[in-house]
Amino acid sequence: MEVSWETSVEKSINTIYLLFSAYLVFMMQLGFAMLCAGSVRAKNAMNIMLTNVVDAVVGSISYYLFGFAFAFGEGSSSNPFIGTYYFALKDIPNSTYDYSFFLYQWAFAIAVAGITSGSIAERTQFSTYLIFSFFLTGFVYPVVSHWMWSSSGWLSPSASDLFIGSGAIDFAGSGVVHLVGGIAGLWGSLIEGPRAGRFDAFGKPVPMRGHNATLVVLGTFLLWFGWFGFNPGSFDKILVSYPTTSDQGNWTGVSRTAVTTALAGSTAGIVTLFGRRLLVGHWDALDVCNGVLGGFVAITSGCSVVEPWAAIVCGLVSAWVLIGLNIVALKLKFDDPLEATQLHGGCGAWGLIFTGLFAKEEFVVQVYDSGASGVSRPYGLFLGGGWNLLGSQVVEILAIVGWDSISPATVGTHTRVIRRKHGPGTTQTMRGFRTGS
């Protein structure tokens, strides 16, 4: 049966939209590589950048072979815990999923491993990192995304049988991507311990500044740019009209999502600027960059279902969450070179809670029921939507922390670490030469 012209138009437009969003998300790999490179000492720059490249290339293989299947596989027997179909993209494309969807999800999957590499930077054996990255992208992360984003997932808001009548709303992955990456990084970092010299003999922290602030800013802006694919692109399709309106559809939701994203990051950046000025006495560009990113991480969960003014609230709180967690980390002698656990884990968790408080019913119905009339859904507590959504969000946080802690820990216990008190870092010994100054 020939495809109708009308269907061709619709699919072409949706594919263009999703593919270009996927390319933007892929740019975030570059952004994160630059952020990492600039944030570590010069002697470890090659190492951290190689881990970022490796995340992309190794993750591609594992996600293609089985990661995508675990995440979105729906065969005749759909399983709420893990997918069981589409291994090595068998039976793709079909009426539900095309290659563009796989590519988009692949771009997300490789982002997760990148996050974790930040926590364990400057002291992790490369061979261990390879194994860990393969496993995280191919198994740990896809299972979580199955729970939340597959229509058979037990926590998914698109499931036919909604968890406590709601399902958890994690639109582009504050939990699925950022919390997963952050908690995995937490365990790696805890088990490895701080970098040599990070805390002195009295337990006081010794600053270990990154070697290139320009790369940090470059990376931050590239991540911001890519986030315009990460958040709005999660609609998957742009050509879906809302039946109760005359000229609104996913294109409206997509645009609104881009706006909430920009506002949350902006607010978090400004609040961090002034917050840190109060705390440390100067205007710190690197802290502002991290603050901006924390705002994006937080809004990622609810970007499509909240009003723009709520996104400002989200960014405001996320800035303080990050500042607070950083202070706690120092007190507990926890060393995370990129603050990845605090930023992705902490702000990610806040983002999920934020959604449970501020989601607007009209938008929830637009996103998850294509704006059908007569449908009602639990929504944000502060907007009068009851406790079910917030409850689901909390369950998601607990489930992710639990799952994430069991899986990588088994790998982590076997992690061996190069420990050196003085002299060359990992880059020189393992790569043969160091970056020039």
Partner 1 sequence: MAAISCSAEQLSSLLGPNSTGAADYLCSVVSSISSKLHDTSYAVDSTYLLFSAYLVFSMQLGFAMLCAGSVRAKNTMNIMLTNVLDAATGGIFYYLFGFAFAFGSPSNSFIGRHFFGLRDVPSPLYDYSNFLYQWAFAIAAAGITSGSIAERTQFVAYLIYSSFLTGFVYPVVSHWIWSNDGWASAFNTGNLLFGSGAIDFAGSGVVHMVGGIAGLWGALIEGPRIGRFDHTGRSVALRGHSASLVVLGTFLLWFGWYGFNPGSFNKILVSYGTSSGYYGQWSAVGRTAVTTTLAGCTAALTTLFGKRIMSGHWNVTDVCNGLLGGFAAITAGCSVVEPWAAIVCGFVSAIVLIGCNKLAEVLKYDDPLEAAQLHGGCGAWGLIFTGLFAKEEFVREVYAADAGRPHGLLMGGGGKLLAAQLVEIVVIAGWVSATMGPLFYLLHRMKLLRISAEDEMAGMDLTRHGGFAYVYHDEDESQAKVNNGGIPLRGFSNSVPTRGD
Burial class (CB in 10 A: 0-12, 13-18, 19+), 405: middle
CB of 215 to partner 1, least distance (A): 9
By beta-carbon proximity to partner 1, the closer residue of 76 and 437 is: 437
CB of 240 to partner 1, least distance (A): 8
Determine the interface stretch with partner 1 among 14-22, 87-95, 298-306, 377-385 (rule: CB under 8 A). 14-22
How many other C-beta atoms can be found within 10 angstroms of the C-beta atom of residue 402?
Answer: 11
Query: Could you say whether residue 99 binds partner 1 (CB under 8 A)?
Result: no
- Contacting partner 1 within 40-59 (CB under 8 A): 41-43
Residues 72 and 428: their CA atoms lie apart, in Å, by 42
- Contacting partner 1 within 418-437 (CB under 8 A): 437
Binding mask 311-350 for partner 1 (x = CB under 8 A): -x--------------x--x--------------------
CB of 292 to partner 1, least distance (A): 7
- Measured between its terminal Cα atoms, the distance across the chain in Å is 63
Spell out the residues 6+ positions from residue 56 whose beta carbon is closer than 8 angstroms to its own. Answer: 26, 29, 110
b/e for 52-90, b at 16 or more Cβ within 10 A? bebbbebbbebbbebbbbbbbbbeeebbeebbbbbbeee
Query: Could you say whether residue 10 binds partner 1 (CB under 8 A)?
Result: yes
CB of 149 to partner 1, least distance (A): 22
CB of 214 to partner 1, least distance (A): 5
Sign of the torsion formed by the C-alpha atoms of 122, 126, 130 and 135: negative
Residue length of the chain: 437
Q: Which amino acid is at 229?
A: G
CB of 68 to partner 1, least distance (A): 25
Determine the interface stretch with partner 1 among 49-57, 157-165, 305-313, 412-420 (rule: CB under 8 A). 305-313
By beta-carbon proximity to partner 1, the closer residue of 57 and 328 is: 328
Element housing 32 (H / E): helix 5-39
Any bridge partners for residue 249, and if so which?
A: 241
What is the token pair recorded at 67? 């990661």
- Contacting partner 1 within 154-213 (CB under 8 A): 204-213
Residue 258's closest CA among 179, 311, 317, 321? Answer: 311
Binding mask 251-270 for partner 1 (x = CB under 8 A): xx-xxx-xx--xx-xxx-xx
By beta-carbon proximity to partner 1, the closer residue of 269 and 378 is: 269
Query: Could you say whether residue 222 binds partner 1 (CB under 8 A)?
Result: yes
- Contacting partner 1 within 279-298 (CB under 8 A): 279-286, 288-289, 292
